[in-house]
Amino acid sequence: MICSANSGSFSSLLVEKYEQENYPTEAPTPIEAIKFRMEQMNLKQSDIAPLFGGKTRVSEVLNGKRSLTLKMITLLNRYLGIPLESLVKGNKELILEPEKKEKLLSISSIKEYLLNSRAPFL
């Protein structure tokens, strides 16, 4: 039997690839990402209020009554290290109208990119 020092790492890569393809994990919503980071850093809403523009606004955002602004997203990334992708992903309200989507998908390079990225909105 031939064993290689790299066979273990190769096996783990295969397992990881299999799990990614067959058991994809859904990215957290922006609110979940913020709450998770608050928990990690042991922060209260009042601690992060300056990033939102006040205690009322942070409460509204975390309760889904107000959307994040570009300024909030930038500050949350800069001061709490929350990845930008986590803060902008998951807004299911932002969709193209059917005719605009059809026009966009008629461009082969865009369609190919979206198909390769496994975009859920195709």
Convert the pLDDT of each residue in 73-112 to its tens digit. Answer: 999 999 999 999 889 876 566 678 889 888 988 988 988 8
- Are 79 and 100 contained in the same domain? no
Q: Identify whether 118 is part of a domain.
A: yes
- Are 79 and 63 contained in the same domain? yes
* Beta-sheet strands, E only, within the chain: none
Q: How many residues does the chain have?
A: 122
- Are 35 and 84 contained in the same domain? yes
Q: What pLDDT, on the 0 to 100 scale, is given for residue 5?
A: 53
Q: What pLDDT, on the 0 to 100 scale, is given for residue 68?
A: 93
Q: What pLDDT, on the 0 to 100 scale, is given for residue 19?
A: 72
Q: Residue 98's domain spans which residues?
A: 93-122
- What CATH number does the domain containing 64 carry? 1.10.260.40
Sequence-distant (≥ 6) Cβ neighbours of residue 26 within 8 angstroms: none
Q: What is the pTM of this model?
A: 0.63
Number of compact structural domains in the chain: 2
Q: What pLDDT, on the 0 to 100 scale, is given for residue 47?
A: 95
Tell me the pLDDT band of 116, cut-offs 50, 70 and 90.
confident
The residue whose two tokens read 């850093």 is: 41
Average pLDDT over residues 23-40: 87
Q: What pLDDT, on the 0 to 100 scale, is given for residue 58?
A: 96
Q: What pLDDT, on the 0 to 100 scale, is given for residue 90?
A: 60
Q: Identify whether 37 is part of a domain.
A: yes
